Structure 1
Amino acid sequence: MISLADIEAARDRIDGVAKHTPLDYSHTFTEMTGASVHLKLENHQRTGSFKIRGAMNRITTLSEAEKEAGVVTASAGNHAQGVALAATRAGVDSKVVMPEHAPISKVKATRRYGAETVLYGADYDEAQQRAHEIEDEENRTYVHAFDDEYVMAGQGTIGLEIVDDCPDVETVVVPIGGGGLISGISTAVKEQLSDVRVIGVEAEGASSVATSLQKGSVHELDSVNTIADGIATRRVGDKPFEVIEKYVDEVVTVSDEEIAVTLTYLLERSKTLVEGAGAVALAALLFEKFDFTKDEVIVPALCGGNIDMNQLTTVVMRGLVETGRYLKVRTVLKDQPGALHDLLTIIAEEQANIYAIRHDRTSREIGMNETDVELDLETRGHDHVETLLSALREKGYRVDVLV
C-alpha cells in the first residue's frame, strides 16, 4: 500500500503544476449543521478537479521509452483532463477514451488540453475496456484513473494540504468513485493524525464500495445510475479497497435528490459551483448520513467543478423542486370567461409567482366544455407549497402536483 512518504514525494513531483487549493470556513454550512465546516475547494484546481494531481505524479514517473510511446486512459471527464494536461506538460502524446455520453464540456476541455479523444461505450467501464485494447495495439502506457499507487499518492496530496491548513480537523469527508481519492487522502491524514475520522461518500446509484465492504471483497455492480458522473464506477479498485478497509471509518451513500439540493445550496449560498460528484461529501453532512457533534471540525472535499451546463440547469431545477422552490401543477377549469382569472387571483393572493401557463382545450381527458391548465410556479418552500395547494382545494379546484 502507499505510504505517507509516497505522498510527500508526489507533492514534490507535482509542485508547480497542481495548485494548493483553498480551505474555506463556511459560515453558512456551519450554521445549517452545527458543526464547524471547512470546505476543501478542489473545484478551484487546475482542470477543475483533483485529477491533475494523480495524473501528473504518474506521468512524471514514466521511463523515457514509455514517454516516447505515449499514454492512454479511460475517463468520464475529470481524469481525462488531468491526463491530457499532465501529458502535454511532460511532452507525452496522450489518447483518452470517454463514454459516448460524457458531458460535451469535458470532451472539449480534454481536447483543448492536448489529448486525442475516443468516444466509446455506455459508461466508464466500457470505455476502460476499449482503452486497454488501445494500450495493447499501440504499446501505450495505461494511466489508470484510480487503481494505481502513483495516482493514489498524487490524490493524497490533498490530505497533506488539509492537515497543514486545518491541524485541528476532526473529520474529513471524501467522495468515492473508484477509490483513488479517498485512499490517498485517508493515508495522508491517518498517518499524521490517527484520531481523525475519514468518512467516504458514494452516490446511491453507484455504491460499489458499500456493497464490497458488506461482502468483504471487491464487488462489481451490474450498472450505475447517478447524476454524479464523476464517481459513477461499477467497481472500486483493488489497491484503493485495501486502503479503504484499513483507514476509512465509515462509508455512506446519498441520493441524487440530496446531491441536487446540495449543489443548489452551494450555488445560492456560497457562490460555489461544483459538479454532482463534487457535492456528495457536503450532502452527506447536510443530510446527516453520519453522526457528528456540535462544533466538530469537519472538512468535506468538493472534488470537482466540471459540470455540463445543460446538466446544471436540470440539477438546479431538481434542487428547487426538492426544497419547495418550484412547483408544477395541473387542474381543470370550466371553459368560460373569467375562469382562468379566478384561478390566477388565488395564486396571486398566496404570493406565488408564475413562470409559465399551458392552456389546452383539446385533451381527450377532459369534457367538451372544460380546459386543461398546467402552471409552473415559483414558491418559497414546502410550507408555502402546502398553503397554496390548500387554498386552491378549498376553493373547489382539483389540483394534481406534477413536479
Structure 2
Amino acid sequence: MSVILAGLDWLSQTVESTELRLVVTVVALGFLLVVLFTHRNVQRWVTDRSKPLYGDLAAFGLLTGTCLFSLGIVVGVWGQTAELQQQVSDSAIGGEVIARAIVSFILLVATFIIIRFLKRVLDEVFGSATTVTDHQREITHRTTQVVVWSVSLVIVLGVWIDDLGGLLVGAGFLGIVVGMAARQTLGTVLAGFVLMFARPFEIGDWIVVEDEEGIVTDISIVNTRIQSFDGEYIMIPNDVIASSTVTNRSKRGRLRIEIDVGVDYDADVDQAADILEDVLSDLEYALDAPMPQIVSKEFGDSGVVLGARFWIDKPRSQWRWQARTAAINAIKREFDAEGVDIPYPQRELSSRDETDVRIDPTSRAGGGETDVETASSRDGGSKAEPDPEPDPEREPENGNGGGREYRMRHPEDN
C-alpha cells in the first residue's frame, strides 16, 4: 500500500500550478462519468461476442478500475499521498485487514454477478411461460435478490467477525420480537406472496370477495385494489382475500346466465320450453356452444317455473345486464305472440271440510255489503245452511249444529 501511494508523488511534482491541477481533476472526473454512462454498451458488446458472464465481468472490472484510477490521479495531483500514507500508518492497517477487505470486495462482486446471472436465467425460464405475468416475474426477481444479498452479507460478516454465532442468535431473537409485533403485517405480506403465485385472479378479472364485487386493477404484496361497478376503488387486504371465498367470473372466459320464467298452469309447458329455446338460440349475446338449456325447476305459487340458461362470451358486468335485458324482452314478445301467459302472483283460498265459506258476488256488483257465512258441525259431514233472512234479535247458537253470521263491508262501499 505504501509503495502504491509513494508512486503517485511524481504527479504532484509534475503538475505544480493550481490551474493545471484543476484541469487534471476535471478530466479525471469526466473520464469516470463517461465510463459510468457507457459501461452498459461495453457489457453488451462483450456479451454479443462471448458469454453474458464475461460481459458482466468486463463491465464490473471497467467500473472498478476507472474508479481507482480516477481516485489515484486526484490524490496524486493534489499531493495528498503523504497524508493518506500517514493516516494508513496511524490506523495500523495491516496485511490481515487488507486481505479481509479484498475478500469482502470479491464476495460483493460475486454477489452482484450471481444476481445478474439469476435474473437472466429467470427471464429465460419465465419468458417461455405464458401463464406467468410480468408482475410475478418482478416479484420473483426481487425475492431472489433479497435471498442472495442476505446470504452474502452473512458471509461478509463472518469474514470480519470471529464469533458470528452470537450475532445470529441476537438477530434471531430480534426477528421473533419483530414478527410478534407485526404479525398482522407479516401475515398480509405472506398472503400477498401466496396470491401472486397461486394466481386465483389477475389484473382485469371480474371477482367477488364477500360483499365486494368489481374489476381487479392492482395486486400488491399488502393489498388488492378493485374497481366496483359504481366507480369506487376498494382496497382489500390480502389476508382477508386469502381467508375468504373468492368468485372469479372471468377465469373461464365465459359466464352462464339464468332467467326464471313462470308459465301458467293452464299453459302447455312443452310449448313454452320450445319457445324459450328458440328465443335463446336467436339471441345475439348467447353462445352456440354450450347450447342454451331450458329446465323445469319447480311448481311455483302461480305457475310452473322454467329456468332459461345460456352462456355469454368475455364476461363483463355491462355485457351480462345487456344480455339479460335482451333475453327478457324477447321472451315477453314471443310469449305474447304465442298466447302463453306469464301468471301474476295469486293465491287460492279454500275451506276445510267442517267449514263452509260463501261470498255473495251480487252484493259486490250492486255496491252493497258482501255476506260471508260459515257453518260448522261436530261430525264434519253436514253443513248448516244460513237463514234466508237472518233475525237481528237472534242469538248465535253455540251448540253442535249452530252457526254464526259474519257481515263484511266491501271496500267499494267506502
Please give the TM-score of this superposition, normalised by the length of structure 2.
Answer: 0.28
Q: Which has the higher contact order (CA 8 A, sep 6+)?
A: 1
Q: Which has the larger radius of gyration?
A: 2
Greater helix proportion: 2
Please give the TM-score of this superposition, normalised by the length of structure 1.
Answer: 0.29
